[in-house]
Amino acid sequence: MSGTLIDLARAYEKEAHRFRTPQGARWAFQGTADLFRRMTCNRAAADPTRITLAMSMLLDIPDRWCRQHGYRAVAGVGGWVVQRHGEPAILARVGETLLWDGDQITVAP
Task: Give the model's pLDDT for residue 73.
Answer: 93
Instruction: Please report, in tens digits, the pLDDT of each residue of the chain (109 residues total).
Output: 346 888 888 888 898 888 788 888 889 988 888 888 888 877 878 899 999 998 878 888 999 999 999 999 999 887 899 999 989 999 999 999 999 999 999 999 8
Task: Give the model's pLDDT for residue 3.
Answer: 60
Count other Cβ atoms within 10 Å, centred on residue 108. Answer: 10
Which residues are paired to 5 by β-bridges?
none
Task: Give the model's pLDDT for residue 44.
Answer: 78
What are φ and ψ of residue 58, in 5° steps? -65, 145
C-alpha–C-alpha distance, residues 40 and 108, integer Å: 21
Q: What one-character DSSP code corresponds to residue 97?
A: E
Task: Give the model's pLDDT for residue 56.
Answer: 77
- CA 72, distance to chain mean position in Å, is 15
Task: Give the model's pLDDT for residue 2.
Answer: 45
pTM over 0.85: no
C-alpha–C-alpha distance, residues 20 and 10, integer Å: 18
C-alpha–C-alpha distance, residues 54 and 74, integer Å: 14
